[in-house]
Amino acid sequence: MEDRGGNDVPASIPSGEQMVWADVSPLIAAACNDLHDGELIHGENFNLFAAMSALEIMDPKMDSGMERNGFHSIEEAIENGAAPIPLSLDRTVDVQRCIDVMDRLFSCEATWHRGHSLAQTVFSCIYLLRIERTSTHPLLHSYCRIMRSTCDVVITAVSDARTHEEEDFFTTAYGLPLKGDGDEKCLSLLNSVEETVSRQLRACKAQASRKKLCDDIGSLQTNPDLEEGYCRAVLCRLRFRKHFYHALVCMRKPQGRGLELAKKHVMSCLSELGSMSKSVEFLRSNAGGPSDGEIECRTTASGKQPFGFDANINSRLSAPTPPRAIQILSWKQAIEFFEKLLNDLDAIFSLPLDLSLEDILQSLVQFQKSQPDLVARAHLQLLLVQDGKLYGKYPFHVVISRALVLPEGTSDQAFQENEFVVQLGQLTINLIKILCTNNAWQRRKLGKILQDWGVISIQLELAFRREFDEMLKFSADEILLTRLSKRLLVWAEEKTYWIASRFLLLGFQLELYSPKEYCMVYWYMYVIFVNLLEKMQMRISYPVDDSRRKGKKKRDLAKDVGLESGVGASSSCMLVQCYVYISEGLTMMLAALHNERQIFQISSPFNSEHERFIQHFELLQRANVPPHISYHLFMKSTTHVQISNVVKHNYFREVQRILASLRGSFSGDSNKLLELHQLEQVVEHNRIALSVIDKVGASDPSLEIRFEFQHHPFFPVAVVKRS
């Protein structure tokens, strides 16, 4: 084939039988000459917007097929010795290099979990891409098989959880050999290799003299002084993989049956991670690798570059545009990553698998505090909701009936078939799933579902009112239904306000509010907490149905219902009362500072505080949560506030009283006690700050006042400095 210049162009793609290559460069050149600068061929289905997705052929930034340095295919890489089998003819070097491959795969796996593509991480390993080649090398082969099977199990779990489109990048495995014949035997393969190495470790430890023959076939490698070290290094890596795989498989057992066993495997994983970390010194000193400062950034324990990895080998598999170069986590960072992942999985095992929805919701909030990654969250969701039931066992109408105090005489069947109960069941399932997503997505979804909860509340209210109006005409059944609608309404409204409070609180975690907006945010939080408290108190005020109490000991009842009534409930209310006072106190303090010091002024050329208010609370307002709240009301409440008013009302002192009595109720619950402590710090510091500001004078220019979240995640402390 000749190009325009008459030179031979190498045919990198051979012509086939029914195919001939023709050089159209002259045609394209002529077409280009016809167009002027700025002109675009405008076809029926090709406009400017569509043109944005155009490929620029032969631009290395945009064309992933573009020739570049490096291998063009996996086969070419293999032919050029990029992934030798064995990794060395010297058995000691072979083991070293094999461990390096394992370590790099480990780092790649952590990088994948952190949000990069499978193709650029785990599957940048040529050994993994052509796994059959490794069958002559049992150690490498078994590790690759279990690695691949683990990826497959994890992807299946995340796909099943169907979290949402923002995180489905994780499961993209187009064109990658995720599964293969013989993968189901990966565990037995691994076990037999583990057994062999384990035996070898016992043998070399038992030797009276270490000067054993170098060519002993059973030995891992040829240097008898190093045999124990390498056996240990290999074993902990194999065992980590084994226990991790087992843990993941156990967690998928239906109805949480495998959780106890999964916990044991997770503990073993953590222990093996410890052994892996201990192997670092040995591997580094014997590898003869670099001992520079960069060693901490390396993706292997030994610090040496591993064989068999090519970052670009899969670049044509992804989008037409080449993927950006990514940074693989260092081996040390990977260890830390897996420690965190395992601890997050462990947190799932400590969940109380009971029927209390309140407990579940609180546990979910607690679980999310450590910002667990997708894999942990997906597994939690799969545990909680299976086949439309809680833990795959309890239908949600049972969960709801436990959360309510049902009117005397309500039959289970009538309850189950009640249309509102069915709908509320669906809303609850959806809520639980949303609470398992990452915080950013979660907040948006919580804002959206407020509409759904609001709608059902309106429907319940209509049902209740309509029936109430015509009470005299109704049968006993219908009166019962009315009472039920009322209880469901109170429960639904309480849940709605709880969702609204989570929506607002997450804004702090996500750093969505600027200090200029704190005043309106705390004001809205105050309003939401007041309403939440009201609904909680209404729910608790219903007398417990005596017929359900028959035969139950008081202690069992209290345990049964948990936070739903009794001591648990009233302490929850007291905590929300604290939130009410603190929110109010902060609102007033911020308003007073705004009024007297002119700080936190919003002075944009394009809009005012009113627009910011509308935007921040749009979803709440749209759902009427609560009704009749407006910027105007906020202004009325805050425009004339002065520091002296705030000091007089002593919000923070009120909270201190309540916190003192809460200590007793929360004893034994370390998370709750921690929050009590944090709240104590917040109110004490703010109380003091207030009195300082009051004494010096709020408008005194020598004062410097900032609000910082030093103690509590969503209540700040006023930090006052005098210059």
Question: Looking at beta carbons only, is 268 or 330 nearer to other proteins?
Answer: 330
Q: Which is nearer to other proteins, 92 or 312 (CB)?
A: 312
Half-sphere exposure of 666 (CA within 13 A, CB side): 20
Contact 307, 100 (CB under 8 A): yes
Q: Cβ 321 to other proteins, closest distance in Å?
A: 7
CB-based contact 337:370 (threshold 8 Å):
no
Shortest CB 645 distance to other proteins, Å: 5
End-to-end CA distance of the chain: 81
Query: What's the Cα-to-Cα distance from 76 to each of 71, 81, 283, 313, 531, rounded to whole Å?
Result: 6, 9, 31, 10, 68
* Residue 347 token pair: 């947190």
Q: Give me the least distance between CB of 504 and other proteins, in Å please.
A: 14
CA dist., res. 528 & res. 525, Å (int): 5
Smallest distance, other proteins to C-beta of residue 525, A: 13
Paired sense of beta strands 703-708 and 389-390, if any: unpaired
Beta strands in 252-298 (DSSP E): none
Considering the complex, what minimum distance in angstroms separates the CB of residue 442 from other proteins?
A: 10
Least distance (Å) from other proteins to the CB of residue 320?
Answer: 11
| Least Å from the CB of residue 695 to other proteins | 20
> For other proteins, which is the closer residue by CB, 187 or 629?
629
242/535 with CB nearer other proteins: 535
- Minimum distance of other proteins from residue 521's CB (angstroms): 11
Q: Distance between CA atoms of 202 and 206, rounded to whole angstroms?
A: 6
The answer for residues whose C-beta is within 8 angstroms of residue 137's C-beta and 6 or more apart is: 85, 86, 87, 98
List Cβ neighbours of 173 (8 Å cut-off, separation of 6 or more).
118, 119, 151, 155
* 11 Rama class: left (phi>0) / alpha (psi -120 to 50) / beta: beta
Nearer to other proteins, 54 or 462 (CB): 54
Provide the angle, in degrees to the nearest 10, between the axes of the packed helices 554-561 and 566-597: 40
Amino acid at 38: G
Nearer CB in complex with other proteins: 127/613: 613
Residue 44's beta-bridge partner residues? none
- Specify whether the CB–CB gap between 711 and 611 falls below 8 A: no
The smaller minimum CB distance to other proteins, of residues 564 and 584, is found at: 584
The secondary element (H helix, E strand) that includes residue 386 is strand 385-386
Q: Which is nearer to other proteins, 341 or 421 (CB)?
A: 341
State the virtual CA torsion across 452, 457, 463, 465 in degrees, nearest 10.
Answer: -150
The string of DSSP codes covering 124-156 is GBHHHHTGGGGGG-HHHHHHHHHHHHHHHHHHH
C-beta closer to other proteins: residue 222 or 438: 438
Distance from C-alpha of 643 to C-alpha of 695, rounded to nearest angstrom: 10
Comparison of 56 and 417: residue with beta carbon closer to other proteins: 56
CB of 650 to other proteins, least distance (A): 14
Residue with smaller CB distance to other proteins, 167 or 194: 167
Shortest Cβ 47–other proteins spacing (Å)? 9
- Supply the minimum distance, in Å, between the C-beta of residue 719 and other proteins: 20
Q: Least distance in Å: CB of 444 to other proteins?
A: 6
Q: Look up residue 697 and give its two tokens.
A: 């004078």
User: Which residue type occupies 166?
Assistant: E
25-54 in b/e form (b: 16+ CB < 10 A) is: eeeeeeeeeeeeeeeeeeeeeeeeeeeeee
DSSP secondary structure string for all residues of 533-567: HHHHHHHHHSPPPHHHHTT--HHHHHHHHGGGSHH
Closest approach, Cβ 341 to other proteins, in A, equals 17
The residues that touch other proteins, with contacts defined as CB under 8 A, are: 37-38, 40, 48-49, 51-52, 54, 56, 59, 61-62, 114-116, 166-167, 321, 324, 438-441, 443-444, 510-514, 517, 527, 530, 584, 588, 602, 604-608, 610-612, 614-616, 626-629, 632-633, 636-638, 640-642, 645
149/437 with CB nearer other proteins:
437
Nearest partner of 276 among 451, 146, 454, 103, judged by Cα: 103
Q: How many CB atoms lie within 10 A of CB 610?
A: 14
Q: Which is nearer to other proteins, 287 or 506 (CB)?
A: 506
